[in-house]
Structure 1
Amino acid sequence: MPCQLLADCLTEIFEYLDDDYSTLHSCLLVNRLWCGISVRILWRNIWYLKSSVDFQHRFKVESAILSTLITCLPNESKELLYNNEIFIPTPTSKSPLFNYPAFCKVLPITVMCRTINVALDKIPISSLSLKDRNCLVMNEVIKMFMNQISSLKRLTYEYNKYYNNLHCTDFTSFSEAGDCLIDLSELRCNSNLPSEFYYQLSQKCHNLLSFTLYIKTTNFDIELKKLISLQNNLKNLRLSAYYEVDWTDIIPVLTKHFNTLTKLHINGEFEFIPLSFVASFSNLQEIRFLFIDGSEFEGFETLQYVTFPKLQILNIPCQCPEPEYMMKFLENNGKNLKDIKIWCGGGFLSERKVLKTVAKYSPKNFCELKIYNLMNSKLRPKDLESFCISWKNRKPKRSLSLIIIKNYCISLEEDEENMKVIEKYESLGIIKFNTRNHLKEKDDDFKFRGYY
């Protein structure tokens, strides 16, 4: 009993180190108990341990992970690889200390394919082509995961033309996965995957909470639409469009989730997206539009009149709708917003209008405003002071965090008179002023768009 109590306590402590991989790795070396607890946490999302380091080192780490997984393969899979002259070095000839695949909760198929490509590229060619060898190893590894994982939480499958063994993956193992996919809560995938992939998932996976779709085809697979339609409680939806797409047949499938969806992120790159369908999601708490070409906001003309009673976060970090549309939208929805991120300057909203709108329409608990300066700031000290006075007179009193995202332009704090106003109201506790480099925000946007 004391030993079990210690194990439970250590488990709870180690859970707080979920993202501190270096410390968790050190815990492996303390003793058998610490090793057994920390290894389970490390392997839940093992493929992303070193995503921030340089590529060469990351591939080295991923290859070590693959070698460990090869030792975990069942004997029939090892024999199959041996018979096809596929010899992947393993850290030991003995049985592994743990059944590592059983600990995994995240399965990134694209990362696994890349790792297998790199590993096998260094092994002499056998009677099989490189592509066939990659496919064989990939299918045996996926089959092992499907048989060993009790409950998968996140699955990512983003087809990349450089890893063509993705399209020869055999997904029949998905149908043999038992309950592994029933509780899958997050799926990230492309629209140009084999229809068999969507079909196999739709047979068991009906409880997605988050779905990210990178649209890379001109139309939508019928099995993909079926998979989306079958979800019971979809809350987060992310769409990234890269091609000219006919949205006619996918919109009814998306709007079927009007009652459950709370977060909607849409990214468009030189692609017109009919934003009017967003009006169907009356329970949205967060909206994010990231468009490279402002023409995508033509559909925002309809949204300006729509009220989202639960909307708390509005994020438009790259270009903006027409100023009059944006102002009307904020008038209708500002009372509930807690966080607003929008671009200012040029043909977009002016800083003065943004501050005036926030002061007039933001809710009592609003506490953070981020302004992206596209052009040199034209905010005058008297307008900034007028805003600060309005904020000071709000009831109940609450300080506002005003964050300026600095681009390659002159932002408002570079005006000496503006800084005097800022310092005055900072000393009174009315505002908290800060600046951030636009590259950090751009980094966050790239993550959303699936670049890494």
Structure 2
Amino acid sequence: MKFYTILGDDISTLHSCTLVNRLWCRSAISLLWEDPFSFNHVQNFQYFEIYLHYLNEDDKAKLNEYGINNNLLLSSTLFNYPSFIKRLNTHKVSSSIEIWLSRTLMAENYDNCQEAEKVVYRLLLKMFIENEGSLDSFEIKVTSKNNYSYFNDTMEFALQNPNFICNVRNLMINISARCIKLPKKTFPFLKFLHSNCNSISSFSYKIFEFDVDNNRTLIGKCLSQMIFTQQNLKKILFECNNFFYNSFSLLKIPIFQIP
């Protein structure tokens, strides 16, 4: 059913396709759930209630501690929706969680909202992995100190569950937050990409104002190893400050600094 791919983000048409027959329904549903976090016009965020249905009772109990009632979650679903995930942008996920919780939590639980966001984020990653989701596109984006924990959690889950990202074709690492310490798992993560991911066709690395503790050269070496192991790499984009630009001199390819 390759013709479905031309529909892109035509959500209304995809929904119509689900009504044709079982085959069309299954194909359309898989596309609708490849990346629900990118559908900006979806205002009710009901996909969270569907996703969180897949949590075990212990994880649902964790949500209860933050005022997220089990009654909000669906009792049954028709498909294994988490298994359809193909594109993940950490910033879009965290932003969607923030909006959903602001509409879901009772007023007395607002003080716990930020901690609840982190819990929901970790549970979503865990759920995708347990349901054998496998990403085609993985975008790690850190725009503030509040996103820092998401960065750490993302790398931790990826390292512990290599099948989740080993087939990634589009990889983006975008860190624009100021004065953040480089996470300890950064180098294991870059080495993991070098050893386990060889299908990347597009790689974007944007980093500014990051406290790297004199590890710039090591970052350059790790990136160099990762890039040279890729068999299908067609596009590379680097955006960085002068310090990181110097470290990329290790790469034996033309590097252009974007101001």
> One fold, TM greater than 0.5?
yes
1:105 is aligned, of 61, 70, 86, to 86
SS at the partner of 1:34?
A: helix
Are 1:226 and 2:210 an aligned pair?
A: no
More helix by share: 2
Closer, same or farther: CA 188–82 of 1 in aligned 2, 3 Å: same
C-alpha separation in 2, matches of 1:69 and 1:111:
16
Q: Distance in 2 between matches of 1:224 and 1:102?
A: 34
Query: Which of the numbers 213, 218, 222 marks the counterpart of 2:205?
Result: 213
1:310-325 equivalence runs, <5 A: none
Please name the residue that 1:87 is paired with. Answer: 69
Deviations 1:280-330 (CA, angstroms, capped at 9, x unpaired):
xxxxxxxxxxxxxxxxxxxxxxxxxxxxxxxxxxxxxxxxxxxxxxxxxxx
- TM-superposed CA distance for 1:89, in Å, is 6.7
Tell me what 1:179 maps to.
163
User: Structure 1's 99 and 121: CA in aligned 2 closer, same or farther, altered over 3 A?
Assistant: same
Matches within 5 A, 1:9-408: 11-50=1-40, 57-58=41-42, 60=43, 63-87=45-69, 90=72, 93-122=74-103, 123-124=105-106, 125-126=108-109, 129-161=112-144, 163-164=146-147, 165-167=149-151, 169=153, 171-191=155-175, 194-197=183-186, 199-200=188-189, 202-204=191-193, 205-207=196-198, 208-217=200-209, 220=216, 222=218, 225-231=221-227, 232-233=229-230, 234-241=233-240, 243-252=241-250, 254-255=251-252, 258=253, 266=256, 268-269=258-259
The aligned amino acid for 1:209 is S
TM-score normalised per structure 2: 0.77
Structure 1 contact 114–163 (Cα < 8 Å) conserved: no
The 3 A distance-change label for structure 1 pair 163 and 137 is same
> What do residues 153-177 of structure 1 show as CA deviations (whole Å, max 9, x unaligned)?
1101111227535356364322332
TM-score with structure 1 length normalisation?
0.47
Unaligned runs of at least 5 residues, structure 1: 1-10, 51-56, 270-452
Aligned-pair Cα RMSD in Å: 3.1
Question: Is the 8 Å Cα contact of residues 220 and 247 (structure 2) preserved in structure 1?
Answer: no
Q: Identity of counterpart residues, as a percentage?
A: 23
1:142 & 1:66 partners in 2: Cα distance?
Answer: 12
Structure-2 separation of matches of 1:22 and 1:267: 41
Structure 2: which 5+ residue stretches go unaligned? 177-181
Distance 1:16 1:47, change over 3 A: same
- Structure 1 or 2, whichever has the larger Rg, is 1
Amino acid at match of 1:238: L
